Amino acid sequence: MAYPSLPGASGDLFGAPDEEAPWDEPIAPGAVLLRRYACGRAPALLAAVKAIAAAAPFRHLETPGGQRMSVAMTNCGTQGWISDRRGYRYGAEDPLSGRPWPAMPDVFIDLAREAAARAGYADFAPQACLINLYRPGARLSLHQDRDELDLRAPIVSISLGLPAVFLFGGLQRNDRPRRFTVQHGDIAVWGGPSRLAFHGVAPLRDGTHPATGPSRVNLTFRKTA
Ligand code: MD3
Ligand code: FE
């Protein structure tokens, strides 16, 4: 080969000139990080988020205990996750408008299915995509995702923009969480023995990212029923 290590030469194999090849990082039984896997499709994903947010704006939900969440949220798909004084649940309509949540774009469905398949979960068919918007200081305290009726399906999570620290604990709230920094374009797939693990996101650090400015966007895909 003539110039195997020429700077930018590997760009021909991927989308953009300075795009790195993705790699897989298993983190627990049933759970894997697909590092940088979404980078090439990040512009299309973020354009779709913008269109979704124009129809169903980001909002800070209230917890059943009456606290305003620091993360702003919206949804797309046939079901969306919401929280209010009455509890946590999925519903077909945006309570702000009374209209159905915006449809899930093909670029979301295709990438979530590919990521799940790569992690060993064939035929993943997400019904809900919760879109979380983090500004510096926003966080998600330790919790389990257990509002879905079918816990055999994995959860697929796509990180865009500023880096964040995932806290990944065990099946008991008291298990000390491990910390994983996730970057723009990283995808996490959690299923099988990890599906009910406690997890959270540490407070977002200050910063700006070329793709998202002073924020992080996380797409979480779920089969709800
Ligand atoms: C571990 N959001 O919305 S990835 C959520 O970065 C949520 O906004 C994260 O947790 C975020 O509920 C998404 C972290 C994650 C998600 C699901 C899991 C970790 C998980 C399911 C089982 C184990
Ligand atoms: Fe969660």
Residues with CB under 6 A from ligand 1: 130, 132, 140, 145, 155, 157, 166, 168, 188, 190, 194-195, 197, 199, 201, 218, 220
Domain span at residue 125 reads: 23-222
User: Is residue 63 assigned to a domain?
Assistant: yes
DSSP string, 146-198: ---S-TTS-EEEEEEES-EEEEE--SSTTSPPEEEEE-TT-EEEE-GGGTT--
User: Is residue 18 assigned to a domain?
Assistant: no
* Residue listed under structure tokens 């354009």: 47
Q: Are 29 and 191 in contact (CB under 8 A)?
A: no
Q: Are 60 and 69 in contact (CB under 8 A)?
A: yes
User: Is residue 15 assigned to a domain?
Assistant: no
Residue nearest to atom 22 of ligand 1 (CA): 195
Q: List, in order, residues 6 or more apart from 215 with CB less than 8 Å away.
A: 133, 134, 135, 161, 162, 209
Average per-residue pLDDT for the chain? 94
Whether the pLDDT of residue 43 is over 90: the answer is yes
User: Is residue 8 assigned to a domain?
Assistant: no
Which ligand 1 atom is at minimum distance from the Cα of 164?
6
Residues 49, 53: Cα–Cα separation, whole Å: 6
Residues 85, 65: Cα–Cα separation, whole Å: 7
Residues 186, 34: Cα–Cα separation, whole Å: 6
Whether the pLDDT of residue 75 is over 80: the answer is yes
Residues 6, 155: Cα–Cα separation, whole Å: 38
User: Is residue 90 assigned to a domain?
Assistant: yes
Domain count, the chain: 1
Whether the pLDDT of residue 50 is over 50: the answer is yes
User: Is residue 204 assigned to a domain?
Assistant: yes
* Polymer length of the chain: 225
pLDDT score for 20? 87
Beta-sheet pairing, 155-161 with 187-190? antiparallel
Which ligand 1 atom is at minimum distance from the Cα of 71?
8
User: Is residue 5 assigned to a domain?
Assistant: no
Of the pLDDT bands very low, low, confident and very high (cuts 50, 70, 90), residue 159 is: very high
Work out the average pLDDT over 39-68. Answer: 98
What does the pLDDT look like over 8-32, one tens digit per residue?
A: 444 456 767 778 899 999 999 999 9
Measured from the Cβ of residue 213, the count of other Cβ atoms closer than 10 Å reads 11
CATH number of the structural domain spanning residue 33:
2.60.120.590
Residues 179, 147: Cα–Cα separation, whole Å: 24
Instruction: Return the ligand number nearest the Cα of 199.
Output: 1
What does the pLDDT look like over 161-219, one tens digit per residue?
A: 999 999 999 999 999 999 999 999 999 999 999 999 999 999 999 999 999 999 999 99
User: Is residue 17 assigned to a domain?
Assistant: no
